Structures are given as C-alpha cells and as structure tokens.
Amino acid sequence: MVPDRPEWLTVPAPDEQALAGMQQLLSQGRLHTVCESADCPNIGECFGNKTCTFMILGKNCTRNCRFCAVTHDVPEQVDADEPYMVAATARQLGLEHVVVTSVTRDDLPDGGAGHFAATIRAVREELPEATIEVLIPDFKGNKKAVNKVLAAQPDIVNHNTETVPRLYPAVRPQAVYARSLKLISRVRESGVKTIAKSGLMLGLGETVDEVIGVMKDLHRAGCQMLTLGQYLSPSPAHLPIVEYVHPQVFEWLKEEAFAIGFFHVNAGPMVRSSYHAGVTFAQLAHR
C-alpha cells in the first residue's frame, strides 16, 4: 500500500508564464531538459530562476529504468548542431554554471560520449567563464568513452548510483552497481582536475544501513559530492513509493556522509542531482 503524501512534501505551484517563457526559448533551439522529461518537482523554481538541466541526445532512452519518467522508445538521430544550441541557449539565459545530462544511448558505439565532449567544448567557447557539470550514463563500462568526456575537462562529472545494490534488479535492471562505482573511480584516477559526484533516491525500500554502505562505497571510489533525495513515482506504471523519508532522516544522513569524508552533501526530500548546482559550486569555489 502506497503511503499518503505528507504535508511537508509540497512545492509551490509553478509560474505558468515563467514555464512558457523557458519552454519557448528551449523549443527555438530544439532542446530538451531533464526538468521536463523526468517530471522534476522543482521545475517551477528552476524555470522561474531561468535555470535548467539540458538533456542532450534526444528525448528517447534506450533503457527502461522503472523509476524514471523519461520516455523509453526508439532513439532519435543525433543532432550535430545540438552542442552549439545548448551553448547559445546557456548564453541567452546568462548561466554561470551549465548542467548537461542525456538519455542513455546504448545504441551508439561510444554511448554518446563524443557528443557530451562536443557540448562541453561548445559551452566553453560560448561562455568561457562558466563552470560545467555533466551527469553521464555508465557508457556500458566503456573506459574510452569516459575518457572522451574527461578530455573535455568538465568541472564536475556526476554519475548517479540511484539506489542500493539489492534493489538494482527492480529499479535499474540494465545497470550494474559495480560498474557505476568503477566509473566514479575512473574519474578520480584520470588525473583530470574535475570533481566526482553521485546521488541516490530514498524511499524505494532501502534500509539506512544499506544507504550508509553505498555512501562508504562511493567515498572509497573517489566520490567527493553527494546528493540524497526522495523518490517520487511518476505514474502508477512505475515503481511505487515504499516510504516517505522524513527530513530529519535526511539531515542525519547528511551528517553521516560528512563524517565518512564527502566534502559537500545536499540532502532533503526535494533534492535532485542538479538542484541548486550552480549555487553549490559557487560556494565551493570560495571555500
């Protein structure tokens, strides 16, 4: 039985004018955002502040994770102009921190890594003072693909483990926990000056001890930044919510993560991978 949604898990209604303005700007560049495709609950706040997370390589994912609202369908043709449109739109928005993710493209030889690299380079050319964060798929463990992304020198490389290993068969049936940890290790072992980041959803039936175990695994792998947020089921066809995790539990886990050794942790029911990412990076830069 799905628990009732608690009163403390609410967000203000989005400003329809702000939504429409951002959607018009994005449509001009034929661009997608994970904010829209993944039904992010923070879309009103972020679009209202003229920020977004660009989602490259189309809107159809080759994987079918049972937690995710992104469309699973035949992948679209890669748009060679997309990196430049992302860069131009980021400039129009005046972004100081640009966040780019993608659908998973297992159909491409490099998983789309070259397209990520091209996007990073285009943003660097258009906005040389901006910092860049990429949230990448696992590229099926392809080390050369990861190296393509790293060679473009993003400031942050994020790859989410999403949940605890026991739940992978139900939550991420096409992913491998050890493979995700290995990707984080490759980021840290590459010698490239970039920050390794990861994140988990809570409320899928994991235990606190399992979450602590994943945090320790991530830290050993070289992960430096961590996000923890509440899973919200996109539809009845997706995995149900097992538990609404209380904000106090998120705060306790945040302190535990700091004790483990992470240098930045963003934890709370409404936290998502790139939530307040620009503010976070600016704070880190002035430490």
Strand partners, 61: 72
H or E stretch covering 134? strand 131-135
Q: Read off φ and ψ for residue 100, nearest 5 degrees.
A: -130, 130
Distance CA 8, CA 28 (A): 37
* pLDDT at residue 26 in the model: 87
Query: Cβ distance 134 to 154 under 8 Å?
Result: yes
Give residue 198's region: left, alpha or beta (phi > 0; psi -120 to 50).
Answer: beta
Query: Cβ distance 227 to 189 under 8 Å?
Result: no
Distance CA 223, CA 159 (A): 10
Q: Is 0.75 surpassed by the pTM of this model?
A: yes
Query: Cβ distance 247 to 67 under 8 Å?
Result: no
Query: Cβ distance 218 to 164 under 8 Å?
Result: no
* pLDDT at residue 279 in the model: 60
Task: Measure the N-to-C terminal CA separation of the chain; round to a whole number of Å.
Answer: 45
Query: Cβ distance 269 to 250 under 8 Å?
Result: yes
The residue written with tokens 């704070």 in the block is 283
* CA-based max dimension of the chain: 52
Per DSSP, the residues of 42-76 read THHHHHHTT--EEEES-SEES---TT--SEESSPP
> Helix and strand tally (H, E) in the chain?
11, 10
Mean pLDDT of successive 10-residue segments in the chain (287 residues)? 79 77 87 77 77 92 88 92 96 94 96 98 97 97 96 97 97 96 94 94 97 98 96 89 96 98 94 72 57
* pLDDT at residue 283 in the model: 60
> In angstroms, how far is CA 29 from the centroid of its own chain?
21
